[in-house]
Chain A
Amino acid sequence: MICYIGAFGLIFIGLFIILVKRNLIKVFIGLSILDTGVNLFLISVGYISKGTAPIFSKPGIETGRMVDPVPQALVLTAIVIGVAVLALALSLAIRLYHHYGTLNLRKIKEQRW
């Protein structure tokens, strides 16, 4: 239960940073925190009380109380896609800085025409 509160807290703090802050790199930090919060929520949905990891390490291990393996496969994909999107976004931010001279979103919007 405490993990749900942690995941929701991270999602809301990430959304707050994206909506309010003006620097573009701060917005990307908020995007990454939002990503981490969603992944934490997905893994904590699949948890079973007093369960073990879904790996058959010993030949005679019992399979009664193993944790759900489906959310783990999905979250592995989501982490790598998150870092790929972040790399492309940072390259666009570097080009924006070379063109406008600033990374403040208000000033870029005023200078556009």
Chain B
Amino acid sequence: MIFVSVLVFVMLIGAIAASIFKDLINAVIAMALVSLLASILFYFLQAPDVAMAEAAIGAALTTAIFIIAIKRTNRHEE
């Protein structure tokens, strides 16, 4: 119970950090942290299928295609 509360708190701090960072690569890494912690929370809510899908798709492939798209455009916000 305490462990789930700590995970939710760090997830919310990561989401707020993703909106504050000006360098876009840092914001993408914060979004990968949110996705990874959501995958661990899915496991604690007794849903192993969804945890595996969110870890493989949300934390790995979404970060990869964001970084490839940032490489072809600007790196800093405005």
Q: Which residues of A contact B (CB under 8 A)?
A: 2-3, 5-6, 9-10, 13-14, 16-17, 21-23, 25-26, 28-30, 32-33, 36, 39-40, 43-44, 47, 51-53, 55, 67, 72, 75-76, 79-80, 83, 86-87, 90, 93-94, 97, 102-104
Contact = CB atoms under 8 A, between A and B. Distances in A.
A90 B46 CA distance: 33
Interface in B53-69: 53-54, 57-58, 61-62, 65-66, 69
Interface of B: 4-5, 8, 11-12, 15-16, 18-19, 24, 27-28, 31, 34-35, 38, 41-42, 45-50, 53-54, 57-58, 61-62, 65-66, 69-70, 72-74, 77-78
A103 B74 contact: yes
Please classify the interface of chain A as helix (H, G, I), strand (E, B), loop, or mixed, using the class held by over half of its residues.
Answer: helix
Given A6-B12, A79-B50, A83-B61, A29 B31 contact: yes
Contacts of A6: 8, 11-12, 41
B47 A72 contact: yes
A33 B73 CA distance: 21
Contact of B5 (A2, A21, A22, A86): A2
